[in-house]
Amino acid sequence: PELIEFDVAKTRTIAVPRLASPQNVNTPAGSTDALALQIAEVMAANLEASGVFQAIGPSGVKTPTLAQVTAPEFDYWRGKNANQLIQGFIRVDNDGKLLIGCYLYDVGFGSEQSSAGFRVDPADWRRAAHKCSDAIYGKLTGEMPFFDSRIAYIAETGPKGRRVKRLAVMDSDGANHRFLTNGQTTALTPRWSPDYSKILYLSYSDGNPRIYIYDVNTGAQKLVTESRNPTFAPRWS
């Protein structure tokens, strides 16, 4: 018999048009028109990278009006062969924070499946995009979402024998990368606190191991303990 191979890695086509931006307002992170596109691009990239979805948009598809966000043109999206549809909006509240809403629809049934909204500082627009992605991924797969997560790691540079090891963090998709230490002392074994606001790590200075807690939000660092025993490893209690 003939062997037929099926690609089942991506089972659902999900449309992710640009968010509706009823008023174009400038923010410290850019205009809401620009952020409406960037947020949709991040969500589409997240869902595509999961291996579960084939994302279409935001380029090449219609941008919904604010009224259409909650009343989609399902016939249009059926013509795009979309199984699911994400539509949303972005606006600036009186206090300067962004309000970002996202809605998930089943195109075939023409019905809403879930919705979520987030108020964030303009600088945190990418995190709101990750949170929307998490809500959608969790709803459609029943699995634990992971887009709104950060990675703490040791970045190594320099020639062999003189490696510089710096504490660094980045988003799960590689964005917002930054170094937290300057490499003057070796950093090792980073561990997040349970609320992901601080990092516990081991540092060697003059051959002595020291444990520090680094506050990611404020940049403050505190020495917890030091020892002449090089065999212990830090952990959160």
Give burial (CB, 10 Å; 0-12/13-18/19+) of 215: middle
Range among 3-7, 143-147, 184-188 with highest mean pLDDT value: 184-188
Q: What is the reported pLDDT for 157?
A: 84
Give the whole-angstrom CA distance, residue 91 versus residue 21.
6
Strands ordered across the beta sheet of 53-56: 53-56, 12-15, 84-92, 98-106, 111-120
Q: What is the reported pLDDT for 237?
A: 45
Judge whether 204 and 210 are in contact, CB under 8 Å. Answer: yes
- CB atoms under 10 Å from CB of 161, counted, come to 5
* DSSP state for residue 136 in the 8-state scheme: H
Under the banding of pLDDT at 50, 70 and 90, the label for residue 4 is very low
Query: What is the arithmetic mean of pLDDT over 72-85?
Result: 96
- CB atoms under 10 Å from CB of 211, counted, come to 19
Residues whose CB is less than 8 angstroms from the CB of residue 169 and which lie 6 or more positions away in sequence, other chains included: 150, 151, 152, 153, 176, 177, 178, 180, 199, 216
Q: What is the percent of the chain where pLDDT is above 90?
A: 52
Judge whether 88 and 20 are in contact, CB under 8 Å. Answer: yes
DSSP 10-62: --EEEE-PPPB-SS--EETTEEHHHHHHHHHHHHHHHHHHTTSEEEE-STTSP
Q: What is the pLDDT of residues 22-78, one digit of tens each?
A: 999 999 999 999 999 999 999 999 999 888 999 999 999 999 999 999 999 999 999
Ranking 69-78, 122-131, 135-144, 167-176 by mean pLDDT, the lowest is 167-176
Q: Among candidates 73, 63, 85, 95, which has minimal Cα distance to 12?
A: 85
3-class secondary-structure state, position 77: helix
Q: What is the reported pLDDT for 5?
A: 45
Mean pLDDT of the chain: 86
Predicted TM-score (pTM) of this structure: 0.71
3-class secondary-structure state, position 225: strand
**What is the token pair recorded at 64?**
């919904």
Residues whose CB is less than 8 angstroms from the CB of residue 218 and which lie 6 or more positions away in sequence, other chains included: none
Q: What is the reported pLDDT for 6?
A: 39
Give the whole-angstrom CA distance, residue 120 versus residue 113.
24
Range among 94-98, 165-169, 209-213 with highest mean pLDDT value: 94-98
Q: What is the pLDDT of residues 184-236, one digit of tens each?
A: 888 888 988 887 789 998 888 777 888 889 998 888 989 888 876 555 555 54
